[in-house]
Chains A and B, each alone.
Chain A
Amino acid sequence: MTPLALHGTGRATGFSEGSGRTLLRLRDPADTPSHAADAALIRSTDHAVMALLQGFDTFVAIGDSEPGSGANGRRVLLDNRFSHLTPGDILALDVPTNRVRVLWRSESNHNSFLVTERCDHFCLMCSQPPRNVDDGWIIDEIYECLPLIDPSTKSVGFTGGETLLAPDRFIPLLGAVGRLLPHAGVHVLTNGRAFSRAAVVRNWAALQHPDLWAGIPIYSAVDTIHDYVVQSRGAFDETVLGVLRMKDAGQRVEIRVVLHALTAPRLVETCTWLARNMPFVDHVALMGMEDTGFALANHAALWMDPLDYGPALTDGIAVLSEAGIRTSIYNLPLCVLPEGVRPWAVRSISDWKNDRPDVCSSCSAAGRCAGFFTTGKTKFSRGIQPIAEPVTFLGR
């Protein structure tokens, strides 16, 4: 179980002196290049020849050695870990260092842009520990990337760090997303604190985007617990105010509750509080923890076998459903869930970091299961076992 390679080092030749970061959009060698960023994806000499005939001047080859074509032009060689790349994918190449990052995978439904590594939270279970670096260039790169994406794209996500640390830069970017990818649902992960400021919500709402979501974590109805989990005093107060302002402005909000030993013991109370105080939120996601990043450092304090919070999950979902709140379970394999709540489970783990261990080979429900994170060191529940009978999903 290893995640797909989304970054690594390649070998770039033919790029002009002084080139810095360069975006490359992979194309089938039989296509005709239509943009300066277009690069033919070649796996054989035949491909290379075809690409040359089609007029490509940039080539991305995958394999141990470059297929000889005699072509000049810009060339990048990536090793076989990148064999998953397909036409439509977008790469960022840093020419001086030969570092390659995959920004967009056309076959994925989970494409998500990292907006910044900076964050004003320091969550105990953060899967993407923040770094205090000046990375404002990332937004520029996303601007550059957007016109290269297939305009019929159905979904795009934004994550961090904290995406809204610089709302004056980020919200206009969302405007560009709406214009360039008009069919895409847009999901932004944010701690929501920026929304406690009226101007931020005003600008967000002014986008008038038809399918824009803010996914905001609330880990507990108890201020102290939430503040402790995110390691920031006053966080709960600002986040709740942010959610209220967003809903007052008619914006879509998803509440995200990550379940671990600090949050799961009061899950029913948290759900009850959501049902009474925020029945107007658009979705609640009850989420298994990704055992990577800080979650590993704090494993002793955070680990709780999902089997042990199963009953709370059952009651919590009953409370939310009774209040008419749309609810899903993310990141948890079906076998560790009480049968009654399995219909709420969603295959939420991004495809590039999702796999299943050997024990699942005989499971009849694998096709509907969230699977497992391949990042970090996934700790397995003692409830992991193949589901023998076909799972019947009665209507929710």
Chain B
Amino acid sequence: MSRFQTIDAYAPLDGQLALMPIRFERLSPERVIVANTVGDILVLTQVEFERLIALDLRPGDGLYERATERLLVAREGARAPLQLLALRLRSRMAFLRDATALHILVVTLRCEHSCPYCQVSRRNTGAERYDMSEETALLALEVAMSSPAKAIKLEFQGGEPLLNFPLIAFAVEAATRMAEVKGKAVEFVIATNLALLDDKILTFCQNHHIHLSTSLDGPADLHNRNRPRPGGNSHALAAAGIQRVQEFLGRDRIGALMTTTDASLDRVEEIIEEYVRLGLDGIFLRPLSPYGFAMKTRWYDGYDSDRWLTFYERGLRHILDLNHRGIRFPEFYASLLLQRILTDQPIGYVDLRSPAGIGIGALVYNYDGKVFASDEGRMLAEMGDQTFELGTLGKTDYASLVTSERLIDLVGGTLSQTSPECRSCAYEAHCGADPVYHHATQGDAVGIKPLSGFCSRQKGILRILIETLERGGRDAAVLRSWVSR
């Protein structure tokens, strides 16, 4: 008789195995994706899935091992699997510890462009009453500096913020002084079309380590069609601006965002190549949002989420091939999602998290002193909907803004962890609540997810990414390489 026991002596007892909290989604009649609460994923056949649910698993059958490793099943009474899930969830949610790291100052609503898809409802260049005053900027900075986050980002938005550059310069210098007193780190970003960039501005940006974020929709004809301005030279100015910033400040100091319009749909490869040609370090393939002129001009209705997903998938394919040719060039939205799929790092990206980033992730100070819970919230306000307005500078402070009943209702009422459809969605751990979008499109901050374009785009992209990772090989290797650790 051996002194050693066989493996059967260590198997779970009858009835001891239990399902952990899981979510699932059918990929096809034959394949099911199963996820745990922190988004570990296992793709199963229908038969395997039925066995998992029925707990028809035994050590040695392969499925028991796979399901155990992915924390989908555990023994009654076992503590380690629950502790692992708990600590990983805690890590994923740790962005909540640094409340309101992003502060957006809308320094003017004026713009010299007249984009039909403008989501912020810009005003004409002469209308100076749409500029932020120094007094308002100081009040905004006071609120920003009293938020708990140790490192904050100040973003200057418009309109075209460079039309009110003196105020930016004033705010940057004031914020630098205030941050030093408060012991905070502060980063600056200007979101600009670069048309008004000059040497004085560049020097200022260099002296204050300011990052520039611009718009580039693709090749000249497409860009200029989307982004008209007097002279029809938006693309030429943007391209020249990008190159000047790259030379003057460095390649890493400029990024560009593209907006997909109906006219972009068949041209994703050209758009990407334009980014590569201009030496940009990646691209964010971004759909139109349902705000501002994009609604008025009905450009928003130019395509549905299926057509956008086809565009995205084609773009991703082209980008992967670029990477295979040795050009490191990520798609930034994919990078963000992959970071959440492949790690438990707290990703507090304000537009994709639950609890939502409104207020507790970002605050927006409008030119007129009104404070909004998000950039999209002030876009809605320009359309007459004040739902996301939290208060007025001078009559409020940080604490009362983020603990306002309105904000608490909006954040607490839209948690993806508890919302219908989301709570049982296999992708929940990698997704987020978007109360502004659902309020705007459905008149309800939670929304009916099967009718939500946000939801179908999210599911579509996550599915593309997860299936690519599952297939393995060099495409998966490129996707994994986009995750920073």
Contacts and interface: CB of A to CB of B under 8 A. Distances in A.
Given A225-B59, A269-B65, A244 B10 contact: no
B28 interface: no
B9 A233 contact: yes
A228 B68 contact: no
Interface string B222-243: 0000000000000000000000
Contacts of A269: 65-66, 69
Given A240-B80, A273-B69, A223 B75 contact: yes
| Interchain residue pairs A-B with the least CB separation, the first 10 | A240-B80, A227-B10, A224-B59, A221-B69, A228-B7, A228-B10, A324-B485, A237-B80, A222-B65, A277-B84
Interface in A127-164: none
Given A222-B68, A224-B59, A273-B69, A233 B10 contact: yes
A231 B5 contact: yes
Contacts of B69: 221-222, 266, 269-270, 272-273
11 contacts: A224-B10, A228-B9, A231-B4, A231-B5, A237-B75, A240-B80, A240-B84, A241-B80, A244-B84, A269-B65, A270-B69
Interface in B429-485: 480, 485
A34 B485 CA distance: 54
Contact of B83 (A224, A227, A233, A241): A241
A246 interface: no
B80 A236 contact: yes
A233 B16 CA distance: 13
Contacts of A225: 7, 59, 65
B12 A224 contact: yes
A322 interface: yes
Given A233-B9, A270-B69, 11 more contacts: A122-B4, A222-B65, A223-B10, A223-B75, A224-B11, A224-B64, A244-B83, A269-B69, A276-B344, A279-B343, A323-B485
B59 A222 contact: yes
B40 interface: yes
- Chain B interface size, as a band, is 20 to 34
B87 interface: yes
A276 to B, nearest CB: 6
A124 interface: yes
A293 to B, nearest CB: 12
Contacts of A323: 343, 485
B91 to A, nearest CB: 9
Nearest to A234: B78
Interface in A228-279: 228, 231, 233, 236-238, 240-241, 244, 266, 269-270, 272-273, 276-277, 279
A323 B69 CA distance: 17
A298 interface: yes
B88 interface: yes
A277 B10 contact: no
A295 to B, nearest CB: 12
B79 interface: yes
A270 B104 CA distance: 45
A322 B10 contact: no
B4 A221 contact: no
Contact of B78 (A223, A270, A277): A223
Contacts of A221: 68-69
Contacts of B88: 276-277
Nearest to A294: B4
Nearest to A276: B40
Interface string B61-78: 000111011010011001
